[in-house]
Amino acid sequence: MLSDVTTPHDLDDRLRTDLAALGAPERRRDLAEPLPDGGPLTGAHLLALFDAQLTSRLLDLAGRWLRGFGEGYYTIGSAGHEGNVAVAAALRPTDPALLHYRSGAFYCLRAAQAAGDFPPVPPPPLPDAPSSDDSAAPLPDDDLDPAAGTRPRGEQGGRPDVEGIEPSAEAVRLPPGAGVTVDADGDATVGVPDLPPPAPDDAYADAARDVLRGMAASAAEPIAGGRHKVFGRADLAVVPTTSTIASHLPRAVGLALALERPRRGGPRADGEPAATSWPADAVVVCSFGDASVNHASATAAFNTAGWYDHADVRVPVLFVCEDNGLGISVRSPEGWVAATLRSRPGIRYFAADGTDVVQSHRVAAEAADWVRRHRRPAVLHLDTVRLMGHAGADAETAYRSPAEIAADAARDPLLVTARRLVEAGYAGGEDLLARYDERGWQLRRIAEEVLDEPKLASPVEVVAELAPRRPARVSRAVAEAAARAVGPGAAARAEAFGGKPPELTGPLTLAQSINAALADGMLDDPGMAVFGEDVAVKGGVYGVTKGLRDRFGAARVFDTLLDETSILGLGLGAGLAGMLPVPEIQYLAYLHNAEDQLRGEAASMRFFSRGAFRNPMVVRVAGLAYQEGFGGHFHNDNSVAVLRDVPGLVIAVPARPDDAAPMLRTCLAAARVDGSVCVFLEPIALYHARDLYTEGDGEWTAGYAEPGAWADRHVPVGRARVYGVGSAEDLTVITFGNGVRMSLRAAATLADEGIGTRVVDLRWLAPLPVADIIREASATGRVLVVDETRRSGGVGEGVLAALVDTGYVGAARRVAALDSFVPLGPAARQVLVSEEAITQGARTLLAR
């Protein structure tokens, strides 16, 4: 029954029945012939599209089959969305693609394109196509003439007349590849070659093996290595995304923007391979479901693309919305998705019936060509259906009526394509059913082979590609940058600093040291770009990026729109394009609006691509508390828990100017060498601090190291700094950021009481400098953790845990901020750590 088409078995039975019922064509047509009213598509193209579609469908069925006996771990399929195969056909296999999880047919065809198994399709004509509204109209059925074997009326194609037969109104023109057999009685029979059978090891089989390995969590899976089922492969230009929503869209916009900006080419100075090379006229495609148009990350991506287009900045991105009307069980209101997509300023709208590959290809080709030629954003809205529910555990009969399910089943994209093949004369229903069965047995054999492949079996295997650390290479990269600064880059450096480099300007503040290090980084790496809110013309709200735009130009130092999700998305795309992005988040509190771009997109890229893709990035964030005369929660945020929880993320917190520059150089080098994602958290209250103990002492400023000293003063990731005050034998204070300055002042007070203190500046909150923590804690046997973040989820918890885990047996105590948001004005002192609290905590600990 139609109402029962909700399971793999039902869907398979129905499709088999419908294929067999299509019968045989009235007249056979060779695959080399153009498809009637199919534009540039031939029968060979249509058959290849069908092969990709049926491979995707059979993968969905295999996923449910594997799950049925506990050997499959992913059942979200593409059934009903196989029309996205037309989008792949309309693009080039070198166009970067960030795909929705229902993109099985797209992936299969992309594999065929790359392998040369899909014939190139001629591009559409150059003049702009009709309006997008016209392009969405269905193909008129009356353009086909059944009496002429589905050849459009008036068509004069085909082969010349058979030699020796006089042309007449009734003469039959032979299709290409046809043969004529004449029997003993002189009767001629025209024969068309049978459909070529699927090759046992063709590109569709290879793509199926990729996907099946992902479903079975095989360690041999080519992109994620068994870590997740994703669509991705570097040689197919398919960038993996694990998102179930639209969090990959900001990255797509960033990549499209980066394609239009100058970027460094050729091998890098550190010996690493050149950046991922995308063709100069590439189009970035990203697909998503209709429910995702409502998500903040999608809204941010659409808005950013339109914003830049309005500013006359080229962004060649094609958004593809596959609209089946449902977000699991929640319906999109009728007309809402189209209205939403149409209303986006600066984004050209195209629409098509996503179940009809011929119409979808025509419109997709029009859209892709428009984006490619104009380098402007567009959205392709495909009307699709969803078959078999959202995933294996989804009983859609609980929220959909039998009539609704039956209506979707009647629009099965595979059946629509099969009907096209039969009506055009390329194949019979039994031919296509046999093809479906043969491909099914092929996938069954591949699935059985995949089941025998090893899984990830140790923690080391799982985390191998999470965040590789090569400290020796990072150190060498810093030394090489120094050599370039005093060698071939010396003249450019002198010019950039106006003849007075920072090492000759006297002691610098924290902000000045960061500014100088940013300038040196940009001098060394032409692919480095600094961007964010107010960073260019204004030079940052605290002046940290002042003068960089004048030195390096608006293409490398630029202001963005006010949206943190988009700022990070631009960075993700720029890193993927081979640049070294250094985005700024204006305040730590603003990062929480966009933290998933770091957690779910940035930090996971190497993990889910086995290092085939990476997004090197250094995110500068102004944060932490203790601002005087200005603040409140949004400008005095002291929460970093969400960052410390992100696997593989590097978190640097420089407290002093003489640490800030070398730590920033380390982050830039780690991003280049290891593809690291680093957060450089800058304490706002220390930006312009000059004094430590008394007004005018200048103890919180420091000279800027000349390039010749960079290697000697290199600060590796995860290494602390230790200050000795007095005898340094009685107490160890472990702290960071603003806590360093307060703890040194408190240590001076304690020294007057005869107490010797060693103050440990962690400098790195991830990874924590555990070896340094244990060494310095053991030296005194008394540890006071001074944590300016909150007691719950604060850094102090990690320090104390490290002490316990490594068997520390001495005394320990913690001074931390209260579990409270930071209020405005003097009230902030009631919840934050103070020098007095540090001093009192030390005395209490020593009195035990």
Beta bridge partners of 735: 761
- Number of helices (H), then strands (E), in the chain: 27, 22
Among candidate residues 361, 635, 688, 714, the one labeled active-site is: 635
How far is residue 31 CA from its own chain's centroid? 39
Residue-wise over 61-94: b if at least 16 C-beta within 10 A, else e? bbbbbbbeeeebebbbbbbbbbbbbbbbbbbbbe
Separation between Cα atoms, residue 283 and residue 582, nearest integer Å: 24
Separation between Cα atoms, residue 707 and residue 772, nearest integer Å: 27
Compute φ and ψ for 702, nearest 5 degrees.
-160, 155
C-alpha to C-alpha distances, 202 to 194, 205, 207, 408, nearest whole angstrom: 19, 5, 9, 31
Neighbours of 312 (CB within 10 A): 7
Indicate if 9 belongs to the active site: no
Q: Residues for the chain: how many in total?
A: 848
Separation between Cα atoms, residue 100 and residue 320, nearest integer Å: 9
**Structure tokens belonging to residue 544:** 């940290």
3-state secondary structure of 182: strand
3-state secondary structure of 572: helix
Separation between Cα atoms, residue 303 and residue 295, nearest integer Å: 12
User: What 3 state SS string does 601-657 have?
Assistant: HHCCCCCCCCCCCCCCEEEEEEECCCCCCCCCCCCCCCCCHHHHCCCCCEEECCCCH
Burial of 599 (0-12, 13-18, 19+ CB in 10 A): middle
Separation between Cα atoms, residue 600 and residue 602, nearest integer Å: 6
How far is residue 506 CA from its own chain's centroid? 43
Decide if 711 contacts 683 (C-beta within 8 A): no
Beta bridge partners of 617: 677
Report DSSP state, residue 60: H
Rg of the chain on CA atoms, in Å: 32
How far is residue 99 CA from its own chain's centroid? 10
Q: What amino acid occupies position 477?
A: A
Separation between Cα atoms, residue 700 and residue 496, nearest integer Å: 26
Beta bridge partners of 721: 761
User: What 3 state SS string does 798-832 have?
Assistant: HHHHHHHHCCCCCEEEEEEECCCCCCCHHHHHHCC
Separation between Cα atoms, residue 202 and residue 385, nearest integer Å: 28
Compute φ and ψ for 467, nearest 5 degrees.
-160, 80
The catalytic residues are 635
